[in-house]
Chain A
């Protein structure tokens, strides 16, 4: 547990990157597009931000580079794919619980009102 806490809290960009990798390995541009879609365009990861985050996530062993390479006929064979590690998944779960706790606290303070539903919180 102590090891997990060292990684928390996650920055919004890192949280979203881990979330997109939670359902399978992806290359950098696919991560960026999914994050953009999920956040309805409010978060667009430029190459510097994305690969800076990927470098740190690999260093912290939250993600690894996958051996998978796309078929050159379908996609650029130079693309590198990244996958979530067990530690990365545990950190993502811990961060999600931490955020859920914060939302719950806000709900108890009656700060969300009727809007809680849009954040996936029962009101």
Chain B
């Protein structure tokens, strides 16, 4: 088999299974013929062919997935405006209580308490009436899960490591809890559900990508540390980003059968920790700059109001995809460009934050892939149950 055929055999794995079943043999014959022609013209033509096949494979695999899934018109019933308002409430709370420039401190704890009050009071009420977890409460639940893991991890590391230890003990604790939560929940869900191939590829990409990238910013510190400390630091640095996302995706799987893709709101809530500390100022001068208040308002609205409102009101699968990813991408573009453009001094964007952002975006993509599939199976099960129960009623 020629290199071009080997490359394309691998690229074919990216296509939807249905497309592969119908055309895999024809497409490989096509590549074999193209390679034969290119081979006659010389090695440079073979290299050009390989490059064009990579482009052809990636672009068209994506188009086929688009057509197989997102391109289909599937009508969803938009959520009521009351549900939409409740889902947007955390964002509105942060928007109206966010301190103005001049007081660039983290959000007061009271905001988080309000967040949790919504959950503690609202959810049992809804559960009592509807016997299901309300979709709007996924946002505060995500924030709660993330905070519980954070606090517990912090406590765990406090018990385990000496105060003078140079190891990032708190992060190691959080990473450990993330692993436990992720494996536990995933094991429960995966007993009934197989993940799509694309999800596994993405998980491997995230884990391996972080293991490689962490080499870049953990080597410098490692020179002054012992081997064990360096290893713990390395694996914690490499693990914390993807594990955080995988843990949130795993928790969301518990709700995806009921809510499908809407379970992604749990991730929105989980990652909203950015609005409670100064992570999103990381790398930027910790001081006021012109339009800072406006900037905070815009990114808060984009992330915590536009995403849930648009997602809950979207009527099609494509609409839901746009509702999640357009504001999210806009949010991160603003996050990285506005301070650089506005602050007069050179702004240092930390590589760790860029990697973290990529991890967050990939977690959302992973959640979309998994929840779409889990949600469809949930719908089938519900419709089967309905069809079984109908004769009994009669």
Report yes or no: B60 in contact with A48, Cβ–Cβ below 8 A: yes
Query: How far, in angstroms, from A120 to B379 measured CA to CA in the complex?
Result: 57
Q: How many residues of A contact B (CB 8 A)?
A: 17
A66 on interface, CB distance cutoff 8 Å: no
**Which residues of chain A in 6-56 are interfacial with respect to chain B, using CB atoms and an 8 Å cutoff?**
28-29, 32, 44, 46-52, 54-55
Query: How far, in angstroms, from A46 to B31 measured CA to CA in the complex?
Result: 8
B13 on interface, CB distance cutoff 8 Å: no
Q: Which residue of A lies closest to B61 (CB)?
A: A48
Query: How far, in angstroms, from A13 to B305 measured CA to CA in the complex?
Result: 42
Q: Per DSSP, are chain B's interface residues mostly helix, strand or loop, or mixed? A: helix
Report yes or no: B30 in contact with A51, Cβ–Cβ below 8 A: yes
The stretch among A74-82, A93-101, A105-113 that forms the contact with chain B is A74-82
B301 on interface, CB distance cutoff 8 Å: no
Q: Given A32-B30, A47-B30, A79-B29, A52–B52 Cβ distance below 8 Å?
A: no
Query: How far, in angstroms, from A81 to B22 measured CA to CA in the complex?
Result: 14
**Which residues of chain B in 147-175 are interfacial with respect to chain A, using CB atoms and an 8 Å cutoff?**
none
B25 on interface, CB distance cutoff 8 Å: yes
Report yes or no: B27 in contact with A47, Cβ–Cβ below 8 A: yes
Report which of A28, A49, A79 forms a contact with B60, defined as CB distance below 8 A: A49
Query: How far, in angstroms, from A46 to B58 measured CA to CA in the complex?
Result: 12
Report yes or no: B57 in contact with A48, Cβ–Cβ below 8 A: yes
The 8 A CB mask of B9-35 against A (1 = contact, 0 = none) is: 000000000010011011111110110
Report yes or no: B23 in contact with A46, Cβ–Cβ below 8 A: no
Query: How far, in angstroms, from A49 to B52 measured CA to CA in the complex?
Result: 11
B364 on interface, CB distance cutoff 8 Å: no
- Which residues of B lie under 8 Å from residue A50 when comparing CB positions? 30
Report yes or no: B25 in contact with A78, Cβ–Cβ below 8 A: yes
The 8 A CB mask of B27-48 against A (1 = contact, 0 = none) is: 1111101100000000000000
B63 on interface, CB distance cutoff 8 Å: yes
Report which of A32, A52, A54, A79 forms a contact with B64, defined as CB distance below 8 A: A52
Q: Which residue of B lies closest to A48 (CB)?
A: B60
B368 on interface, CB distance cutoff 8 Å: no
- Residues of B at the A interface (CB closer than 8 Å) are 8, 19, 22-23, 25-31, 33-34, 52-53, 55-57, 59-61, 63-64
Q: Which 6 A-B pairs have the closest CB atoms?
A: A48-B60, A46-B56, A47-B27, A47-B30, A51-B23, A48-B56
- Residues of A at the B interface (CB closer than 8 Å) are 28-29, 32, 44, 46-52, 54-55, 76, 78-80
